[in-house]
Amino acid sequence: MSAIQPPAEIVWWKQPLDRVEGTWIAIALTWSLIMFFMMPFWHIYGKQNLSNEAYRTTPQAFLAKTQAMVDEYTVRTETAANLPVVRPPPGSDVYLVGRLWQWWPLLEFEKGQTYRLHISSMDWQHGFSLQPVNINTQILPGYEMVLTVTPDTSGEQTIICNEFCGIGHHTMLGKIYVTEGGQ
Amino acid sequence: MSAELFRTCPESGLQFHKPAERLMKAHAVASIVFLLIGGVGALLVTLTRWPAVHLLPADRFYQLLTMHGVDMLIFWLITFEIAVLYFCSSTLLKCRLATPKIAWLGFALMMIGMVVNNLAVMNGDASVMMTSYVPMPANPNFYLGLILFAVGALIGCFVFLGTLVIAKEEKTYEGSIPLVTFGALTACIIAVFTIASGAIILIPTYLWSIGYINHIDPAMYRLIWWALGHSSQQINVAAHVAVWYAIAAIVFGARPLSEKVSRTAFFLYIAFLQLASAHHLLVDPGLSSEWKIFNTSYAMYLAVLASMVHGLTVPGSIEVAQRAKGLTNGLFEWLRKAPWSNPIFSGMFISLVGFGFIGGISGVIMGTEQINIIIHNTIYVPGHFHATVVIGTTLAFMSLTYFLIPTLFRKQVMFPGLVKWQPYLFGFGMAVFTLAMMGAGTLGVERRHWDMAFTDSMLGFDYPASAYTFMGIVGISGTAAVIGGAIFVLVTVLSVFFGKPVDSESAWGFTTSRVLRAEPIVVPEGGHAAAGKWGFAAPGTFLLAIFFLVIFVIYYVINWKYLASVWPIS
Amino acid sequence: MNDQSSQDEIVRIPIMQRMLDNPFLLLFIGVVFPAVFYIIWGIMEIVTIPIAN
Ligand code: HEM
Ligand SMILES: [Cu+2]
Ligand SMILES: [Cu+2]
């Protein structure tokens, strides 16, 4: 009987498998397990893992911490809007605000150093997409995400918003400049 | 069982319960209207993402993208799926449909919901994308429309389950339900979970939008919304796999290689497929890696295993049926001599290959916890899911429609010469479209983004020239696919409303359909394996499956290598 | 009719097949599994996120 008719046998569970099915199931199961164990393996041996460190926060509290950092470590301003460029000390906690429609402030890191980058949103959901290195995470209001990053290439990286956040979404950019070490 | 309530299709032998038949027709026609509306959106959106054309202004683009997403993903697919559920229960079990009146109520709710939602989007204050992430507000009618639609669809699911109960009680079949009905049951179960999750999240969101609740937690919203948003893709997977089995049976009289394996694979879908809603939350704050790994991998990729099994058994059953007919030369005579000019078959086969090779592989890879870091919310994501829901589900449903026009609507398919080419234009157009999107996504081009050149931004950014080339290919191939889709809508609507009635068998449609009249497949001496090779009943299919696996493994490794080149993060 | 049901009793249907033939058991599994592993576990993760200092 074909697949649109009831099975011919009343007891079909005992039908023997064809060899082609058995072989393929064994191969596919093996591959599935390899893919599964690859994820914990990468947590141990790989270098690109989200720690999933996160905190509950409020836009006001987060903005206050960011402002304190900006006041202390701004090194210059850029563009007609005088956006601050902040150069925090290596190893420190760095704060980045996502809001309609900018990533604030601009940041300057040193190559090879590690930073604890805290990111949160002041309003709607945003997407943190660092290009061209290509790191993407989701940013929510009320939650503070911590990424511990170690830039290993120097030059200019752009933060693009990759979660739709209203009519100005496609203008929402930010920058992370990475300088060569020892400067 | 009064006889006048049933009609037997003289050509196919299928038996239709008339009230169920009317419901199927209504759902099928309505779903195609949504496909048409969504398709207009597809064209305009594609022409905007094509950098050289950049057709719409930003606000229109986001508005139409919202409309395209909702009308296609929710309204077109789910409405058609309800028709499939009724077909697989009432028609395949030769049973009266449970409570047709209530089923009509469900249909009415779906229609009202669809209109209310679309009017809200048209109004311009609901351009929030289908995901409507809080706290970005939309016109309350946007949520209300979705809720009404969901309630209607849920009614359809219960009518399906009720019909299964009646069929069992009235003993309209013996033993177990057909495999295809079992696949539909899988889709229905997933739909119940999906719709329940949708209600849990959309009802409070609706109340929030009209001011009765003052806060919806965005992390919670995403968690539960994706139990709706992603699981509804799993309804599609279960439904289109059932349609593949059905078409293999309809065109070739194929029988499943083994009921046990195919049904167990569907069972793995029921138990594990829905966990993959976690795919969307892999880079969200606050969820642990344990939760992410367990859920994103469907508990150790058991649902991927199931898909790989269906990917073998569907073509495998076709191969066995073809070999039994004497097409035993070499490994691939059965495939070469398949009815490639019959769109019911060609569409189904392109759907299967496209879903597996493009949609399946990319989906598993971007659903890997760490690899998602380089893919989340780039245009790679729509690249992946157009391969699953468009090449996979939509094309499978189109193929089934070419069978339903003569059997259900009793009309001849118009322009058969054109229709022969439709699956190729649509399928290959979409294949190029999805691959180009994945290429652009790999270069970091974002999804849901009006301007990849960032001209209005204070701080600029330049994508490499190749990203623009990819997006240009997206525009061209997308337009080709839209033409393929338009042919389908046109032919279906013209045939159903203005087509010549089916009168004689010769005019019935695409000739290879045998359905219930199928001559039983003669089992050769020594079992099916004797017609195959290496003791395998379907050696050609096995070779194709191995080829698939090789590509899968290579691409998987490439992606880990790419990830390893990214800045260290922990 | 009676034939059929008495036949069911004579032919012992394996337990796995009985499970797959029972739509409501499957419905139960299909709703409870994701509700527990995905939704409830996920909600627990979200509500236990600590407050920033
Ligand atoms: C010829 C047919 C189609 C073309 C050319 C097309 C094109 C597109 C394009 C260009 C996008 C926008 C990508 C972006 O900027 O993020 C898109 C999004 C989308 N499409 Fe299609 N599409 C087609 C058919 C379909 C079908 C049949 C479905 C569903 C069954 C579908 C579902 C979606 C969804 C869900 C989105 C995402 C919307 C969002 O981001 O909220 N599309 N499509
Ligand atoms: Cu944004
Ligand atoms: Cu945005």
CB contact under 8 A, B286 and A54: yes
**B223–C42 CB contact, under 8 Å:** yes
Prior bond of A105 cis (ω within 30°): yes
SS (H, E, C) chain A: CCCCCCCCCCCCCCCCCCHHHHHHHHHHHHHHHHHHHHHHHHHHHCCECCCCCEEECCHHHHHHHHHHHHHHHEEEEECCCCEEEECCCCCCEEEEEEECCEEECEEEEECCCCEEEEEEECCCCEEEEEECCCEEEEECECEEEEEEECCCCCEEEEEEECCCCCCCHHHCEEEEEEECCCC
CA distance linking residue B365 with residue B372, whole number of Å: 8
Helix (H, G, I), strand (E, B) or coil at B378: strand
Residue B65 Cβ contacting ligand 1 at under 6 Å = yes
CB contact under 8 A, B286 and C45: yes
> Mean pLDDT per 10-residue run, chain A (183 residues)?
85 88 95 96 94 94 96 93 94 96 95 96 96 96 96 95 95 95 62
Q: How far apart are CA A99 and CA B243, in angstroms?
A: 46
Task: Say how far apart CA B463 and CA B449 lie, in whole Å.
Answer: 13
Domain range for residue A155? 54-179
Residue nearest to atom 33 of ligand 1 (CA): B69
Taking CB atoms and an 8 Å limit, are C14 and A13 in contact across chains? yes
Question: B465-498 and B18-49 helices cross at what angle (nearest 10)?
Answer: 150
Collect contacts of B448-453 with beta carbons under 8 A, ≥24 apart. B448/A162, B448/A163, B448/A164, B448/A169, B448/B62, B448/B65, B448/B129, B448/B377, B449/A162, B449/A169, B449/A170, B449/B379, B450/A169, B450/A170, B450/B48, B450/B58, B450/B61, B450/B62, B451/A170, B451/A171, B451/B54, B451/B58, B452/B51, B453/B51
**C-alpha B58 to ligand 1 mean position (Å):** 17
pLDDT band at C3 (very low <50, low <70, confident <90, very high): very low
Model confidence pLDDT, tens digit, residues B454-492: 998 989 999 999 999 999 999 999 999 999 999 999 999
Ligand 1 atom closest to B379 (CA): 16
> B492-524 as b/e, with b when 16 or more CB fall inside 10 Å?
bbebbeebeebeeeeebbbeebbbbebeebeeb
Ligand 1 site-directed mutation target among B132, B386, B393, B428, most atoms within 8 Å of CB = B386
Min Cα distance B71 → chain C (Å) is: 26
Residue of B206, B258, B193 whose CA lies nearest to C35: B193
DSSP code per residue over B52-96: TT--S-HHHHHHHHHHHHIIIIIIIHHHHHHHHHHIIIIITTT-P
Per-residue pLDDT of chain B (570 residues; tens, 9 = 90+): 455 788 888 777 888 999 999 999 999 999 999 999 999 999 999 999 999 999 999 999 999 999 999 999 999 999 999 999 999 999 999 999 999 999 999 999 999 999 999 999 999 999 999 999 989 999 999 999 999 999 999 999 999 999 999 999 999 998 999 999 999 999 999 999 999 999 899 999 999 999 999 999 999 999 999 999 999 999 999 999 999 999 999 888 888 899 999 999 999 999 999 999 999 999 999 899 999 999 999 888 999 999 999 999 999 999 998 888 888 888 999 999 999 988 999 999 999 999 999 999 999 999 999 999 999 999 999 999 999 999 999 999 999 999 999 889 988 888 988 999 999 999 999 999 999 999 999 999 999 999 999 998 989 999 999 999 999 999 999 999 999 999 999 999 999 999 888 876 555 555 444 555 545 555 555 566 666 777 788 999 999 999 999 999 999 999 999 999 999 998
Window 1-30 of C: residues touching A by CB (8 A cutoff) are: 7-8, 11-14, 16-17
B227–C34 CB contact, under 8 Å: yes
B268 and B302 Cβ atoms separated by less than 8 Å: yes
Query: d(Cα B403, Cα B128) in Å, to the nearest integer?
Result: 37
Q: Is the CB of B42 under 6 A from ligand 1?
A: yes
Q: Whose CA is nearest to atom 41 of ligand 1?
A: B129
**Rg value, chain B, Cα:** 23
Tell me phi and psi for residue A73, to 5 degrees: -120, 15
Q: In angstroms, rounded to a whole number, what is the distance separating the alpha carbons of residues B366 and A136?
A: 12
Q: Round to whole Å and give the CA distance between B88 and B26.
A: 16
A88 close to A115: Cβ distance less than 8 angstroms: yes
Element containing residue B16 per DSSP (H, E)? strand B15-17
Question: If you count residue pairs, one on B and one on C, with CB atoms under 8 Å apart, how many are there?
Answer: 87
| Cα–Cα dist B25/B8, whole Å | 16
Q: Dihedral (C-alpha) B491, B494, B500, B504: value to the nearest 10 degrees?
A: 30
Instruction: Identify the closest residue of chain A to B450 by CA–CA distance.
Output: A170
Distance separating alpha carbons of residues A132 and A122, to the nearest angstrom: 25
- Beta-carbon contacts of residue B349 (< 8 Å; ≥ 6 apart): B315, B338
pLDDT at B356: 95
Complete DSSP assignment for B283-349: T-TT--HHHHHHHHTHHHHHHHHHHHHHHHHHHHHHHHHHHHTT--STTTHHHHTS-TT-HHHHHHH
Q: Are B217 and B286 in contact (CB under 8 A)?
A: no
Chain A residues touching B382 at Cβ < 8 A:
none
> Residue B146: what are its φ and ψ, rounded to 5°?
-65, -40
* Residue A111, domain member (yes or no): yes
Q: Is residue A106 in some structural domain?
A: yes
* Residue B200, helix vs strand vs coil: helix
Mutate: best of C7, C22, C51, partner A, most A CBs <10 A: C51
Chain centroid to Cα A109, Å, comes to 18
Give the dihedral sign, CA B108/B114/B117/B122.
negative
Cβ–ligand 1 contact at B111 (below 6 Å):
no
Return the SS3 of B23. helix
What tokens does B360 get?
């399946």
Q: How many domains does chain A have?
A: 1
Q: Write down the pLDDT at residue A15.
A: 84
From chain A, the residues in CB contact with B553 under 8 A are 31
Half-sphere exposure of A163 (CA within 13 A, CB side): 29
Q: Is residue A31 part of a domain?
A: no
Ligand showing the shortest atom-to-Cα distance for residue A126: 2
The β-bridge partners of A152 are none
Find the B452 Cα to ligand 2 centroid distance in Å.
14
Could you tell me the two tokens for B125? 């204050």
Whether the CB of C13 is below 8 Å from some CB of chain B: the reply is no
CA–centroid distance, residue A169 to ligand 2 (Å): 5
Subunit contact C23:B270, Cβ cutoff 8 A: no
Cβ burial, residue A123 (10 Å; 0-12/13-18/19+): middle
pLDDT tens figures, A106-141: 999 999 999 999 999 999 999 999 999 999 999 999
Whether the Cβ atoms of residue B257 and residue B251 lie closer than 8 Å to each other: no
Nearest CA in chain B to A13: B260
How many residues does this entry show for chain A?
183
Q: How far apart are the first and last CA of chain C?
A: 72
Per the structure block, which two tokens stand in for B24?
């199927």
Q: Report whether residue B72 contacts ligand 1, using a CB cutoff of 6 Å.
A: yes
Q: Which residues of B touch C17 (CB under 8 A)?
A: 176
Atom of ligand 1 lying closest to residue B430 CA: 1
- Spans of all domains in chain C: 22-53
Q: Which of A102, A162, A154 is nearest to A136 (CA)?
A: A162
Residue B382 CB less than 6 A away from ligand 1: yes
Q: Distance (Å) from the C-alpha of residue B275 to the closest C-alpha of chain C?
A: 6
Q: How far is the CA of B198 from the centre of ligand 3 (A)?
A: 24
Instruction: Name the residue in chain A with its Cα closest to that of B545.
Output: A24
C33 closest CB neighbour out of B171, B185, B271:
B271
Residue keyed to tokens 């809080």: B134
Q: Is B248 helix (H, G, I), strand (E, B) or coil?
A: helix
Q: Of A10, A12, A13, which to mutate for an interface test with C (greatest number of C Cβ within 10 Å)?
A: A13
Please tell me the distance from the alpha carbon of residue B180 to that of residue B165, in angstroms, as a whole number.
17
In angstroms, what CA-CA distances link B203 with A165, B130, B200? 22, 15, 6
Please determine, for residue C11, whether its predicted confidence score (pLDDT) is greater than 90.
Answer: no
C33–B264 CB contact, under 8 Å: no
pTM, whole model, 2 decimals? Answer: 0.95
Is residue A77 in a domain?
Answer: yes
How far C53 CA sits from the closest chain B CA (Å)?
A: 16
Assign C2 a pLDDT band (cuts: 50, 70, 90). very low
The CB of B28 under 6 Å from ligand 1? The reply is no
Pairing mode, if any, of strands A83-86 and A106-110?
A: parallel
- For the beta carbon of residue B214, count every other beta carbon within 10 angstroms: 7
Q: How far is A172 from chain C (nearest CA, A)?
A: 26
Among A44, A180, A46, which Cα is nearest to A113's? A180
Residue type, B187: A
The residues placing their C-beta within 5 Å of ligand 3, an ion, are A 161, 165, 169
CATH at A115:
2.60.40.420
